[in-house]
Structure 1
Amino acid sequence: MIGGVRVKNKLQRYKVLLILLIFSVILLAVSVSRFSYIFGALELLAIVLCGYLVFFDQREASSKFAWMLALLFLPLFGILLYFLIGKEPHQRKLPKHQVESEKKLQGFVSNLLLEHPEAIHKKHDLSREIYHLSSKHPTTANHVKVLNKGKEAFELLLEDIENAKDHVHVFFFIIKGDEAGTELTHALMKKASQGVKVRFMYDSLGSIAFPNQLLNDMRDKGVEVRTYDLLNSPLLSNKANWRNHRKMVIVDGQVAHVGGMNIGNEYRGQGKKFKYWRDTNIRLMGPAVIEVQECFIYDWLFLDKNHDTLTQFIGNKERYFPLTTIKESLDSEVVQVLYGGPYDEERTIKDSFVDLIGKATQSIKIAMPYFIPDEETLGALRRASRCGIKVQLIIPGKGDRGISYYGTNSFIDELLSAGIEVYAYDRSSFIHCKCMIVDEHIATVGSTNFDIRSFYLNHELSLFIYGPSPAVETLAQQFAADLENAHRIDEVMQNERTLLEKFKEKISALFVPIL
């Protein structure tokens, strides 16, 4: 709602904006304040930027709309914010050698799998469709261990690092300098001192609180450390809104850990804000590991200025890409590894989410900490529910960040009106897993949230698991357990919200697409 008018489509949005703009100009014309010239100049610049957004910018419509509101109604703040984080990702020019190396890496891994056709799964229709969307092969004979408790996931991660013989590759969006972060870094330093090659990456914004002393200690012990898009100057701020949200650890090219878990005390259930932190991680063995390895090296190349770095990886195929398969058994899993980011021409993970939703015939189960869909993904869920498919969504009962929490809640009315069941998780705890299960036999789990930031602004990594299989069954059982720790939201509860809560939701809904 804007000024009491329901905005139904993009054309109406621009009409409403035009009316508001004309009203703003009239106010400027009658203003006699001595600051009117400054304010007028700011409004003029804001109008020019809005025109650029409408006619030349390629981002999603809701993001454009949010930026235009910020620019027109808060011109000083909006203009500063736009020049700080508002640049459209496709405007970033990547070095030619980097782009070529990344493509060469992807082609190398794809060809390696084609040389071993027994590792490629060819039976599932959806996996073939997603292959055409992503060029990522679905692989068979994988062993997948679902880890729904942070303490268990962290302990198993440390155990695998301890058993490393050749190399350990680590990337986390958030790593903190608390006990958990210190324990991990010490484990990495120990392996580096034993001659194991340790490469460590972290996102500079997500891990902004990670202490420099630990980084220096790791470097001194032989760990190769790289910072993803370091933000150490306002001149570099045009990168600030495009973050690497992935979480992955690869040990000897044979074991991988991926999922929603970062490194910090709260992720293993020792935080102060929430009694319990519900997350899901995956320990993966089998052919799919080499595709997670590909993702890590892809990010490593992104930070590398040397033209021959790729050679040390693909020239040591047996070391970094040991294509081993787990012996076929009842727990062999079909896994497809997808990764994508803001500089890609296509939104591979988002498109695959939509494709997965479109294949549902009975049920869709989603657990997400941040649920801020764009028009297409929201429409896909509403359409599925209206067609008789049971759609259930679990969101936090209490948020870790205000704007994302209220932004998520702003969609509840639209979900309920389509018959979607919405559940709020226990308010004393936080649900941080990013899982979707369709028809009890296909699931996706990883770092990707069901929100505009993950779809358009972040680098993400997700696994698609095709069953029926033990892993999908475990994820479905955990979803059922999560429902028991949540309460269903209905229209009566929605009507009982305070005016302040409704106001926070409306404001958050306008601005979450840009934050």
Structure 2
Amino acid sequence: MLALIHIHIQWIVGIIFIILYCVTILGLVLVIITENRNPLKTIPWVVVLLLAPGVGIIFYFFFGQDNRKQRIISRRTYKRIMKRPQGGKLPQDSCSVPAPYQPLVTLLTNSNQSSLLYGSNITIYTNGTDKFRDLLEELAKATHHIHIQYYIFCDDEIGNKVKTLLMEKAREGVEVRLLYDDVGCWKVKDKFFNEMKDAGIEVNAFLKVAFPVLTSKVNYRNHRKIVVIDGKVGFMGGMNIADRYTKGTDWGTWRDTHFKITGRGVHGLQAAFLIDWYVVSKKLLNDKIYYPLVPVYSDDNIMQICTSGPVGQWRTLLQAAIFTIANAKKYVFIQTPYFLPTEGLNQALQIAALGGVDVRLMLPKRSDTRTANMATHSFIDEMVKAGVKVYFYKPGFLHSKLLVTDDALTCIGSANMDFRSFEHNFEINAFVYQPSFARQMKKVFMHDMHSCERLVPSRWLKRPRKQRLAESFMRLFSPLL
């Protein structure tokens, strides 16, 4: 009798579990549908949840949630931080941005509150040796504050040089604040950052993942690279703090692009850092001392510092990239380490090339991530068929993120041309509206072409079927790579 009661209870519990499980799955499906996403994103998640509900729930929890409606900082706090860069904003009645890019200026202003800043001087770095030499020199000159933010801050030779100098400045009384990405620095031991804390440096991790197996934060990373010194000098671009930018890898050099900005443009970097700092510390820093008066170096050097992330309504950097490519008249030159474009970006590049625009795409011949490289190759077929010229950089790994077009506009920063940068990461790019600077960056691209192998479409399209199948399979996971 007891055995029958036990079996009956198990049967009831089983039924209740199945009902709750089905309700949970159907609830998630309903949530996904009501989010009104792109059907190309909605349908795969619905199919996965219905056909493989167990695995589907886990993957959705980590990678599928839509955070567009979330806010990580209140509108009031955001406005208080962002109002300071307005002091260096270019008056609209004296704006000399090339006419084709006026709508882009408006787009970045409306979607990102990005001020149109003028009067900056920009130094270009195409190797880590020069960048870190100047970075250490500028850090040593700091008298009031150092704000430093990197996705990766390695405990290696260059990392320890920077750490030692930061600790020295903190002991001198300089305010030093360090922000690093928790996932990007997973391999760095706590001792490395604790030593800086003990020296008086304020150190915080962005979106700290306390329990990696039980959190969805792991998919949303802060990929920005920002340094601001006394509010007068700033650094941004694609380089993290690691020896590979100076020593390369065992299979070649590490080619990247970085900026040093002096002048009003630094205020845009400062605002971006202080917003992220508020997110992790809840400390609002918007005093005038962080936005000092700076010289006007060049009246025709106009820029916007633009951020993007997985929260908020708009995918600003993706929209800006599509706009820039769609409105190009002569040429579009792109360098990116990973090319996993959204459908909109994919179409924009093809349409530009088919319309007679000289579209050139430079990628690394060998990548640091094999799966991402395979997925990238699956997108190249469509590019070459449309007339896009593809170049593979041979000496080592090309990590540069550059877009230059029509001798008028240059875009550089931390964002790659891939789903992760546009959809999941917190990124920062600079849009520079200066013809002479665009021509300078065009020369950088042309110089790198001498180290490239031009893809021959007829040969490329004849790749072994097995290879193409593997690449197409990896393409399915491109939003997660």
Alignment of 1:45-84 (within 5 A): 48=26, 51-52=29-30, 55-65=33-43, 67-68=45-46, 70-71=48-49, 75-84=53-62
Match of 2:275 in 1: 298
Query: Per-residue CA shift, 1:175-231, capped at 9, x if unaligned?
Result: 111212222111111111111110000011111112211111000000000110000
The answer to whether 1:450 aligns with 2:426 is: no
Q: 1:66 & 1:334 partners in 2: Cα distance?
A: 43
Aligned CA distance change for structure 1 residues 126 and 454 (closer, same or farther; 3 Å): farther
Any idea what SS the aligned residue of 2:68 has? helix
Match of 1:490 in 2: 456
Report deviation, 1:336.
1.4
The answer to whether 1:100 aligns with 2:68 is: no
Match of 2:335 in 1: 367
The answer to whether 1:231 aligns with 2:209 is: yes
Match of 1:511 in 2: 477
The answer to whether 1:429 aligns with 2:403 is: no
Paired residue type of 1:196? V
The answer to whether 1:414 aligns with 2:389 is: no
Report deviation, 1:374.
1.1
Paired residue type of 2:452? A
Match of 1:255 in 2: 233
The answer to whether 1:384 aligns with 2:365 is: no
Match of 2:194 in 1: 216
Q: 2:275 & 2:94 partners in 1: Cα distance?
A: 22
Q: 1:461 & 1:77 partners in 2: Cα distance?
A: 34
Paired residue type of 2:153? I
Query: Per-residue CA shift, 1:14-55, capped at 9, x if unaligned?
Result: xxxxxxxxxxxxxxxxxxxxxxx9xx9999689637733651
Aligned CA distance change for structure 1 residues 363 and 45 (closer, same or farther; 3 Å): farther
Query: Could you tell me which of 291, 303, 315 is aligned with 1:335?
Result: 303
Report deviation, 1:455.
1.3
Alignment check: 8 A CA contact 2:68 2:314 kept? no
TM-score, structure 1 normalization: 0.83
Aligned CA distance change for structure 1 residues 50 and 281 (closer, same or farther; 3 Å): same
Aligned CA distance change for structure 1 residues 234 and 282 (closer, same or farther; 3 Å): closer
Report deviation, 1:130.
2.8
Q: 2:431 & 2:69 partners in 1: Cα distance?
A: 30
Alignment check: 8 A CA contact 2:84 2:291 kept? no
Query: Could you tell me which of 380, 386, 408 is aligned with 1:441?
Result: 408
Aligned length: 463
Any idea what SS the aligned residue of 1:90 has? coil
Alignment check: 8 A CA contact 1:148 1:278 kept? yes
Any idea what SS the aligned residue of 1:88 has? coil
Match of 1:322 in 2: 292
Alignment check: 8 A CA contact 1:63 1:513 kept? no
Aligned CA distance change for structure 1 residues 54 and 81 (closer, same or farther; 3 Å): closer
Q: What is the CA RMSD across the aligned residues, in angstroms?
A: 2.8
The answer to whether 1:481 aligns with 2:457 is: no
Alignment check: 8 A CA contact 1:85 1:237 kept? no
Give the unaligned 5+ runs of structure 2: 1-14
Paired residue type of 2:478? V
Paired residue type of 1:195? G
Paired residue type of 1:347? R
Paired residue type of 2:168? K
Match of 2:5 in 1: none
Alignment of 1:198-217 (within 5 A): 198-217=176-195
TM-score, structure 2 normalization: 0.89
Alignment check: 8 A CA contact 1:63 1:514 kept? no
Q: 1:188 & 1:77 partners in 2: Cα distance?
A: 45
Q: 1:93 & 1:486 partners in 2: Cα distance?
A: 43
Report deviation, 1:492.
2.8
Match of 1:187 in 2: 165
Aligned CA distance change for structure 1 residues 400 and 70 (closer, same or farther; 3 Å): farther
